[in-house]
């Protein structure tokens, strides 16, 4: 409990013996203080704690180039802000859409995902269940995990990141809806993350690029070139960060594959690629794909490719 006011102060003993020395000391300090005040008035405010006496107003100093003086002083305990601290983020105003392939719930909704949708060149299933490792680690779990890691890396650099789904729906979305999500976001880049389900012994990653399609609702001609640029940069970053080799069974060693039968690419109006990160049915690659540390490397590689593409 605190007390306020002189009526609560305890009585103090007389201190007559100290009165004269204190008077002398105070008297001695007055000339010094007066001299210091006069010097201060002559040189002006240098950013210290001293202020002019209220009865002697001074002309305000001009504002610094950094902006008008708001009367605040920097906290000496805080380090100064360097110009780089206030620089815009490298991916500011950039929109990236990440498309985690498949959905963990697709296997419980086979009738829904088997419905046919228009992909421009024909009709195809809404979606599939995806593949898995021999031990049952689902591709849909893998893709969502990598998507989360990739989102965090891109957001750290200032990008606006959207996912086509975030494990927040029972199944899907269908491939045509996945394309529409990227288009509606006016994305600067879209990456659909997958893992393959090929035969044992088939190893390596590959990036799927849209081929030229002009049929029905599909017209990839405006994005073929930019999508190839995006795919090549992602392939470079992925190989560098993970140490993975390009596919030994698709792409003839380039790590690149052009297709015109995928609705997610055919219906896209913004730069988009698919990335098959490895073969889940091969024991050696399954060991990598099920490793959290390796998936983090994968996310770094994809991020490097996207950043390189967005920076031009």
Residues designated catalytic: 276
In angstroms, what CA-CA distances link 158 with 46, 112, 150, 152, 273?
Answer: 39, 37, 13, 10, 22
Separation CA 198–CA 248 (nearest Å): 11
β-pairing verdict for 206-210 and 272-279: antiparallel
Give the residue from 288, 100, 131 showing the smallest Cα distance to 197. Answer: 131
Helix or strand holding residue 41 (H, E): helix 16-43
User: Are 181 and 164 within 8 A, CB to CB?
Assistant: yes
Query: What is the rounded distance in angstroms from the CA atom of residue 207 to the CA atom of residue 197?
Result: 15
Q: Quick one: residue 278, left, alpha or beta (phi over 0 = left, psi -120 to 50 = alpha)?
A: left
Alpha-carbon distance of 197 to 174, in angstroms, equals: 20
């Amino acid at each position: 409990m605190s007390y306020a006011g002189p009526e609560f102060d305890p009585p103090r003993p007389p201190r007559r013996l100290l009165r004269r020395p204190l008077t002398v000391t105070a008297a001695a300090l007055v000339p010094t203080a007066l001299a210091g005040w006069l010097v201060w008035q002559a040189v002006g405010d240098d950013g210290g704690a001293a202020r002019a006496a209220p009865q002697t107003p001074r002309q305000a100093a001009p504002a610094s180039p950094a902006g008008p003086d708001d009367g605040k002083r920097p906290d000496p305990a805080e380090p100064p802000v360097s110009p780089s601290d206030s620089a815009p983020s490298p991916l500011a105003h950039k929109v990236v859409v990440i498309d985690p392939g498949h959905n963990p719930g697709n296997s419980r909704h086979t009738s829904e995902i088997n419905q046919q949708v228009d992909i421009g060149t024909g009709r195809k299933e809404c979606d599939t269940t995806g593949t898995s490792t021999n031990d049952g680690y689902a591709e849909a779990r893998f893709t969502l995990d990598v998507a989360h890691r990739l989102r965090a890396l891109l957001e750290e650099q200032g990008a606006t990141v959207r996912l086509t789904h975030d494990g927040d729906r029972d199944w899907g979305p269908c491939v045509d809806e996945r394309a529409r999500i990227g288009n509606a976001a006016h994305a600067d880049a879209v990456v659909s993350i997958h893992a393959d389900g090929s035969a044992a012994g088939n190893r390596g990653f590959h990036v799927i690029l849209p081929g030229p399609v002009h049929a029905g609702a599909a017209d990839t001609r405006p994005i073929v070139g930019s999508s190839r640029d995006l795919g090549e940069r992602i392939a470079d970053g992925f190989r560098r960060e993970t140490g993975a080799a390009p596919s030994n069974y698709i792409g003839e060693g380039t790590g690149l594959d052009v297709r015109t039968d995928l609705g997610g690419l055919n219906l896209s109006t913004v730069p988009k690629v698919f990335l098959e990160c490895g073969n889940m049915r091969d024991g050696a690659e399954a060991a990598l794909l099920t490793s959290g540390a390796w998936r983090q490397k994968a996310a770094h590689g994809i991020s490097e490719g996207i950043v390189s593409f967005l920076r031009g």
